[in-house]
Structure 1
Amino acid sequence: MASDSIVIVGAGIIGLDVALVLSERGYGKYITVMAEHLPGDTSVAYTSPWAGCNFSAISGTDANALKWDRHGYTHLCKLASERPEETFVQRTPSTELWDENVPHDKIKGMAEYLEDFRVLPTDDLPEGVKFAVSFTTLTVNAPSHIDYLYRRLRDQYGVRFVRKTLPNIQSAFASSSTKVVFNCIGNAAKTLHGVEDPKCYPTRGQVLLVRAPHVQTNIMRHGKDYETYVIPRPESNGNVVLGGYMQKGVGDGSTYSYETQSILDRTKELSSEVRQKEPEVLAVFAGLRPSREGGVRIERDEIAVAGQKRTIVHNYGAGGTGFQAGYGMALDAVRSIEDVLRDLRNNEPRAHL
């Protein structure tokens, strides 16, 4: 079978996780990843490198979100245990605090598998905080992690990467040997011809990359109209990500000095470690989380290409949860085409003795 029997459109964390799940099952040599941007690139349209990023309770409370989080935590724990210096994933002590709207059902579900989980005594909480928990999270050096996945997929599994800007989703089926396309295009799902999902929108964030090797603890505070967080970045010589913002529907990739000052003020108030020594600001980034009304879309569908029906699997809309939910999402997306994968296996040339 051809190396483009399976085409994945998009090389952010969602597309890379789909490629990883397929490769772990032995289909790497059949995969071509097509994308305008590849790991190592920077663009406001390429969201994954800008992520904080960590495993947290910021994701949804529906059954799918709970399932994807559990799979994601297991997957990231494995990477942190096996080769943290290579995967850029590490275990980190974490505290999460809520001013209101505490997702108790979600916390109950996460308590079943999170390492070192405990609810903090109410008397110990800062003013205005209603509920808090501590546990061992996974922090991820986002740009280095996606570069690790890129190299692993290419060198270990034989996945082919092609830099290409598609005029429409149908053009992903340019090869007659392509049996299925995975649509993992993130924010582009709103505008790419053949997808044009009106439920998609960007959620803008601004973060600071600072030098602060004394900061060793992840901490997040979820407020009514703000998100504040401190995330140590693994294998980065002491760098830390400070944030942030969750601006729904804002597609502005610029950064603003008043937001930078707000982030510094809020993170100093939140974290005793940040207060110990003035962090050195190395860079300021803005990223656009690929969000969707109603949540993630994972759906097998058929589209017409040159008068023929072709199989496509949509997998996008993770918002700010791609690194923690992406592996679980990929498991569901791949599960939807078991029949296609069986056909690929059955049609594979047999060796003759």
Structure 2
Amino acid sequence: MANSRERIVIVGAGIIGLNVALVLAQRGFGGQITVAAEHHPGDTAPSYTSPWAGCNFSAISGRDKNALRWDKKGYAHLSSLAATGSSKTFVRETESIEYWDDNVPEEKIQDMAQYLKNFRVLPPAELPDGVRFGVAFTTLTLNAPNHLKYLYERLQKDYGVRFVRKVVSDIRDPFSNPETKIVFNCVGNQAKTLLGVTDSQCYPTRGQVLLARAPHVHTNVMRHGRDYETYIIPRPESNGSVILGGYMQKGNGDSSTYASEAESIIERTTALSPELSKHSFETLAAFSGLRPSREGGARIERTDIDVAGHTRIIVHNYGAGGTGFQAGYGMATESVDTIDDILEQWSSKFSGKL
């Protein structure tokens, strides 16, 4: 018998898919959602990118208006989660300093200043050698694997979202259930090869990071170089763990880790962070992740397809690169907005009780 709980299927259980589920659930459709994915929160695999994230809210986004809009929504959402308590959500407000080796466009500065808490431009005297521009503000740092598990448990317990462990080889597969009307495509790097999508604009961006024990580090610090990224991110609710990075290697799909890169990370991060360098710290592990990137930016798009003579809907939501945790909620709200007409019909038909 067809499962009537699969009216909406979300393919992918990374941070993008989980945020789409959350937005839909908050609008009253939790009981109609099934999330289908090979890997779920708590798993680790090279193809499951989200748990490897640093991760924080960074001013790394470029001048793309979509990205800046998604960031603004994401910052408000993460701030509300931090206010709930990091012991529950694994999101915490953290003081942050970010540096650029190149000048930053004035419009980007103005955009950041509109919503980032305690935002200020650093005077030249506070900039390290080689840095052209810097800012300080209150960021949000996340314990990525534990935050994913928080969303996973919340969606099931509070909203009745169903999760199934399933390999989807074609984005049209969920429509084999006649009850399925809408599929959200949140597959990340798989969008390049997934049948029914095969987006040639997608590519991985490799990063290697170190997990270190450094309880004396309390400040997020990042330096955006011309051909590198260096960052120190204290991880909430982790007994003093810190993420040290990193790399932004476009088109590199290698999930291995390398001792030479670890040495470079330690050298760069200790030079950048006085907090890190003033005491010894212990390196616990090295990780490599593949950010799901896309030429032209993330894709948020509704498309209609014919299934056995009936119109069905696919909503694409992928390609966030390294900004999935900070932009994911904003991307989710806008992807869900594309089906407002359908959701309104359902709400009217079932009087809000699906």
Q: What do the CA deviations read for 1:256-307 (whole angstroms, capped 9, x no partner)?
A: 0000000000000000011012221111000000000000100000124345
1:85 alignment counterpart: 87
1:143 alignment counterpart: 145
1:162 alignment counterpart: 164
1:214 alignment counterpart: 216
> Which region of structure 1 is more displaced relative to structure 2, 95-104 or 51-60?
95-104
* Aligned partners of 1:179 and 1:340 also within 8 Å: no
Aligned runs of 1:56-95 on 2, under 5 Å? 56-95=58-97
* Aligned partners of 2:203 and 2:251 also within 8 Å: yes
* Aligned partners of 2:11 and 2:186 also within 8 Å: yes
- SS of the aligned residue for 1:27 comes to helix
Looking at structure 2, the residues matched to 60 and 296 of structure 1 have their Cα atoms a distance apart, in angstroms, of 13
Aligned runs of 1:1-353 on 2, under 5 Å? 2-306=4-308, 308-348=310-350
Q: What is the CA distance between 1:123 and its match in structure 2?
A: 1.8
Q: Which runs of 5+ in 1 are unaligned?
A: none
Q: What is the CA distance between 1:199 and its match in structure 2?
A: 0.2
- SS of the aligned residue for 1:187 comes to helix
Q: What is the CA distance between 1:308 and its match in structure 2?
A: 3.9
Q: What do the CA deviations read for 1:7-66 (whole angstroms, capped 9, x no partner)?
A: 100000000000001111111011000001100000010000000000011113122111
Looking at structure 1, the residues matched to 337 and 323 of structure 2 have their Cα atoms a distance apart, in angstroms, of 20
> Which region of structure 1 is more displaced relative to structure 2, 304-313 or 203-212?
304-313
Q: What do the CA deviations read for 1:310-334 (whole angstroms, capped 9, x no partner)?
A: 1110000000000000000011000
* Aligned partners of 2:79 and 2:140 also within 8 Å: yes
* Aligned partners of 1:57 and 1:106 also within 8 Å: no
* Aligned partners of 1:167 and 1:193 also within 8 Å: yes
Q: What is the CA distance between 1:349 and its match in structure 2?
A: 7.3
- SS of the aligned residue for 2:4 comes to coil
Question: Normalized against structure 2, the TM-score is what?
Answer: 0.97
Looking at structure 1, the residues matched to 77 and 193 of structure 2 have their Cα atoms a distance apart, in angstroms, of 32
Question: Normalized against structure 1, the TM-score is what?
Answer: 0.97
Q: What is the CA distance between 1:125 and its match in structure 2?
A: 1.0
The one-letter code sitting in structure 1 at the alignment partner of 2:163 is: F
- SS of the aligned residue for 2:108 comes to helix
Looking at structure 2, the residues matched to 182 and 101 of structure 1 have their Cα atoms a distance apart, in angstroms, of 38
Q: What is the CA distance between 1:350 and its match in structure 2?
A: 8.7
The one-letter code sitting in structure 2 at the alignment partner of 1:81 is: A
Structure 1 ranges of 4+ moved more than 3 A: 304-309
Root-mean-square deviation over aligned CA pairs:
1.3
Q: Which runs of 5+ in 2 are unaligned?
A: none
> Which region of structure 1 is more displaced relative to structure 2, 204-213 or 56-65?
56-65
Looking at structure 2, the residues matched to 38 and 262 of structure 1 have their Cα atoms a distance apart, in angstroms, of 32
The one-letter code sitting in structure 2 at the alignment partner of 1:197 is: D
The one-letter code sitting in structure 1 at the alignment partner of 2:180 is: T
- SS of the aligned residue for 1:26 comes to helix
Q: What is the CA distance between 1:124 and its match in structure 2?
A: 1.9
The one-letter code sitting in structure 1 at the alignment partner of 2:121 is: V
The one-letter code sitting in structure 1 at the alignment partner of 2:333 is: L
Say how many residue pairs are matched: 351
> Which region of structure 1 is more displaced relative to structure 2, 9-18 or 106-115?
106-115
Looking at structure 2, the residues matched to 346 and 178 of structure 1 have their Cα atoms a distance apart, in angstroms, of 19
> Which region of structure 1 is more displaced relative to structure 2, 306-315 or 131-140?
306-315
Q: What is the CA distance between 1:101 and its match in structure 2?
A: 4.2
Looking at structure 1, the residues matched to 75 and 191 of structure 2 have their Cα atoms a distance apart, in angstroms, of 27
Identical aligned residues as a percent: 64
The one-letter code sitting in structure 2 at the alignment partner of 1:66 is: L
Looking at structure 2, the residues matched to 306 and 217 of structure 1 have their Cα atoms a distance apart, in angstroms, of 56
Looking at structure 2, the residues matched to 322 and 104 of structure 1 have their Cα atoms a distance apart, in angstroms, of 25
The one-letter code sitting in structure 2 at the alignment partner of 1:315 is: N
Looking at structure 2, the residues matched to 10 and 305 of structure 1 have their Cα atoms a distance apart, in angstroms, of 22
